[in-house]
């Protein structure tokens, strides 16, 4: 069975995961998925109300994402925008990829002040900006993958991803 890479664009809410992920997926001709769309209605309601999610809240969400990763890594590949704030979440997601094609991690990193400014300007998203401090408190920065500063333009970030990951067959 053919396997294709799944790119995970990770970081706190407001770091640019969706914007960069969509651009990368368009460039590669691969499907794009936003992990926010995999949350249960109860999780969305909690976040909208400003209540941080617990590991128990995230269990079903992570299981759904892992099922998607299993499928995508065995078919078309994909780009997934996902916070993946804790190492144990990344381990669970990574275990779902194929052995011959591990997840390609891209961490979008920036200051809390810059992310807060972005969240205050964002319209129509359920993520309550009051949760940002809890996201930074929960964040365990990965020791692997590509780390990129979020103060660069999204197109420049995609160019950096493409330049740093030539060995994974980036052409569609």
Longest dimension (CA), the chain: 45
Question: How far is the C-alpha of 84 from the C-alpha of 155, rounded, in Å?
Answer: 22
Q: Domains in the chain, start-ordered, CATH in brackets?
A: 6-167 (3.40.50.300)
- Secondary structure of 67-116 as H, E, C letters: HHHHHHHHCCCEEEECCCCCHHHHHHHHHCCECCECCEEEEEECCHHHHH
Point out which residues pair with 78 in neighbouring strands: 6
pLDDT digits (tens, 9 = 90+) for 55-75: 999 999 999 999 999 999 988
The whole-number pLDDT of residue 49 equals 82
The whole-number pLDDT of residue 5 equals 87
> What is the mean pLDDT of the segment spanning 34-54?
88
Residue 164 pLDDT exceeds 70: yes
**Its pTM surpasses 0.85:** yes
pLDDT digits (tens, 9 = 90+) for 99-145: 778 899 999 999 999 988 887 776 655 555 667 888 899 999 999 99
């Amino acid at each position: 069975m053919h396997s294709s890479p799944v790119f995970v664009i990770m970081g706190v809410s407001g770091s640019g995961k969706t914007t960069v992920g969509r651009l990368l997926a368009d460039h590669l001709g691969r499907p794009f998925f936003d992990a926010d769309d995999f949350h249960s209605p109860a999780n969305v309601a909690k976040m909208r109300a400003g209540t941080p999610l617990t590991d128990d809240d995230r269990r079903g969400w992570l299981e759904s994402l892992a099922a998607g990763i299993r499928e995508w890594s065995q078919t078309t590949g994909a780009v997934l925008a996902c916070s993946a704030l804790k190492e144990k979440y990344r381990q669970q997601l990574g275990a779902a990829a194929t052995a011959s094609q591990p997840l390609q991690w891209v961490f979008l990193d920036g200051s809390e002040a810059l992310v807060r400014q972005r969240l205050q300007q964002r319209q129509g998203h359920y993520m309550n900006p009051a949760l940002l401090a809890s996201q930074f408190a929960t964040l365990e920065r990965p020791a692997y993958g590509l780390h990129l500063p979020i103060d660069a333009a999204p197109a420049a970030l995609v160019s950096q991803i493409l330049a740093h990951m030539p060995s994974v067959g980036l052409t569609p």
